[in-house]
Amino acid sequence: MPLRPLSPATTGVGTFPLIPSSKFPFPGAGLRLVGVRFALEFPFPHSSLAFNKDKRPGTSPAPQTWWVARPAHQPRCAHAQALQPGAPAPPPRQPPLLSSAASGPRRKPEGTADCPKPEDPRSPATMSEIPKDSLKAILLELECHFTWNLLKEDIDLFEVEDTIGQQLEFLTTKSRLTLYNLLAYVKHLKGQNKDALECLEQAEEIIQREHSDKEEVRSLVTWGNYAWVYYHMDQLQEAQKYADKVGDVCKKMSSPFNYKLECPEIDCEKGWALLKFGGKYYQKAKAAFEKALEVEPDNPEFNIGYAITVYRLDDSDREGSVKSFSLGPLRKAVTLNPDNTYIKVFLALKLQDVHAEAEGEKYIEEILDQISSEPYVLRYAAKFYRRKNSWDKALELLKKALEVTPTSSFLHHQMGLCYRAQMIQIKKATRNRPKGKDKLKVDGLIASAIFHFKAAVERDSMFAFAYTDLANMYAEGGQYSNAEDIFQKALRLENITDDHKHQIHYHYGRFQEFHCKSENTAIHHYLEALKVKDRSSLRTKLTSALKKLATKRLSHNASDVQSLSALGFVYKLEGEKRQAAEYYEKAQKIDPENAEFLSALCELRLSI
């Protein structure tokens, strides 16, 4: 029988170019690369050829194991077996059948295993060959904190880490799995990858203990985080291992993606992570929770996350009026979670917002009867009483919560607000001229407010409102140099929301107008506040302040170009186009080369 080369169809391996058979002393033999080993293929089932460990063809000088023609980690098969010196040849291969239906199924010889199939691209053997850049491309497909665009510049890492730690200890109603996964990511952002791995180990324990019914699905985010942490530690084999785990589950669940599975639990966890990273992420968090609710509309946890997110959006985006979009979602979340005091306190606050304070207070009283020292519930109950002007009750609850979580920036800020409110009450009662005991009390309240506002910004360097409150309180106490320093720090804050920038410019403008008597600087910052965000609860105050100040200045100097352009801007904003054009024309005559004035005039003339 003539020799013939073995075709890919008979070998069961992929097609790779053979090294010419002329390189070997045996006709028809060829060398191909399989995995990371060399393998020989033979044209006849009875023919055998082995290389010894020195890769020399020929007979073995001593008993030893020979290199064999099969992929790594695969069992022996009828087509290629590892030979020992003197071992019998494998049994003959069955002749090819023209029709399996006519002749019955082909049987493999005894003592042999199935031939290896082509490797899955997600298998460990293949993954081990992937270079770092290719591995990163795979990791970017994973759904986890590392791929959700959570930027460390948007938070105070130490404050968030501290908050998560407090919630793990005291907030029993929140998912501990979600918190440990998030904490692992924060640890990584701080450069503490070993600590991050410990957090992920805690997450795995929780999955096994609390989510055994959905262990694989609930592990996907944790495995994704593992893969990324190991990648950043340059432990690429470990990173590949966890990417493979995700890939295996995706394949098992018939996901259309190699390393991503669409499931509501992951969307919910993504929502909580986005919510923790602040106001810039609230809309994305809302979208994540909405996606989860599309699959499970009555899931208790999903409804809590969605309701709190919409509450945050209501609270952070007040364009001149109180928003109540969260009232319905909060009521539903309370219905689905009747024993959850944390969500009830948010409903109480929203009821207070919409002038249903009596109903809200019933929830607060019910909550306080159920808890003793849960700081994350006490803080919001205190906020309810502060807004009700029950400052003593609010301070009582805040002090109780502060004993448990003394590093909370939120609690310190709330205490500062209470002391400030008490100070304002006394000053109003004395027509801003407190004397004797009232003066001493006012000074004491200012000092207490400064202490707590300062503690808040020290614990959260991104707390924009705490900065403005601290600066204003320094100004109230006549400490103008300290106030200026704090305002400058606030103005230098990066990665904050437009609402925060808007507030900072407004308060700094007032400080310059009333305390520093710098009207030019005041007008500049009032305008900056309106340019950053022209629709807000402060808009009326801002436009009123600008009109009043600019008009006063023009009464002394009709050629004050800054005041003329400021009035033009305000009237344009209010839709009074003809008046706006008049002021811009006056400003442009004084400063004819000013591009801003020319642009505004052209726009106004075209629209009139």
With a cut of 70, say whether residue 272 has pLDDT above it. Answer: yes
Mean pLDDT along residues 77-102 = 40
* pLDDT for the residue numbered 537: 80
Tell me the C-alpha distance between 67 and 25, whole Å.
17
Which band of pLDDT confidence, cut at 50, 70 and 90, is reported for residue 538? confident
- Return d(Cα 482, Cα 472) in angstroms, integer: 10
Q: Which helix (H) or strand (E) holds 222?
A: helix 215-232
Q: What are phi and psi of 403, to 5 degrees?
A: -65, -30
Topology (CATH level 3) of domain 136-339: 1.25.40
Q: What is the pLDDT of residues 459-517, one digit of tens each?
A: 999 999 999 999 999 999 999 999 999 999 999 999 999 999 999 999 999 999 999 99
Higher pLDDT, 175 or 467: 467
Task: Give the per-residue pLDDT at 345.
Answer: 98
Average pLDDT of every residue of the chain: 84
Query: Which has more pLDDT, 268 or 32?
Result: 268
Element (H, E) at 40: strand 37-41
List the helix and strand counts (H, then E) for the chain.
27, 2
Amino acid at site 134: S
The answer to whether residue 221 scores a pLDDT higher than 70 is: yes
pLDDT for position 130: 80
Percent of the chain residues past pLDDT 70, beyond the cut: 78
- Dihedral angle sign, alpha carbons of residues 156, 157, 158, 159: positive
Residue 153 has pLDDT above 70, yes or no: yes
Token code pair at residue 191: 């450069």
Residue 268 pLDDT: 98
Which of these, 509, 540, 505, lies nearest to 523 by C-alpha position? 509
pLDDT band (50, 70, 90) for residue 372: confident
The pLDDT of residue 138 is above 80: yes
Is pLDDT at 446 greater than 50 in this prediction?
Answer: yes
- Tokens of residue 249, six digits: 């589950």
**How confident is the model at residue 306, as a pLDDT?**
99
Q: What share of the chain is helix, strand, coil (3-state, %, to 5)?
A: 65, 5, 35
Check residue 535 and give its pLDDT. 76
What distance in Å separates the CA atoms of residue 144 and residue 246, rounded to the nearest whole number?
11
Q: Is the pLDDT of residue 298 over 90?
A: yes
Average pLDDT over residues 287-295: 99
pLDDT at site 27: 41
Residue-wise pLDDT tens digits, 13-56: 343 343 443 444 444 444 333 333 333 333 333 333 333 333 33
32 Rama class: left (phi>0) / alpha (psi -120 to 50) / beta = beta
Q: Lowest mean pLDDT: which of 87-101, 445-459, 513-527? A: 87-101
Report the pLDDT value the prediction gives residue 596, as an integer from 0 to 100.
94
Q: Where in the chain is the domain with CATH 1.25.40.10?
A: 136-339
Higher pLDDT pick, 60 / 522: 522
pLDDT at position 293: 99
Q: Which two tokens stand for residue 23?
A: 């390189």
Higher pLDDT, 538 or 404: 404
Comparing 124 with 342, which gets the higher pLDDT?
A: 342
Lowest mean pLDDT among 71-85, 405-419, 446-460, 512-526: 71-85
Looking at the predicted structure, is the pLDDT value of residue 172 above 80?
no
Give the residues across from 39 on adjacent strands.
32
Which segment, 69-83, 234-248, 366-380, is predicted with the most confidence on average? 234-248
Which pLDDT value is given to residue 129? 59
Q: Where are the alpha helices (DSSP H) in 371-408?
A: 375-387, 391-404
More confident residue, 248 or 99: 248
473 class by beta-carbon count within 10 Å (0-12 exposed, 13-18 middle, 19+ buried): buried
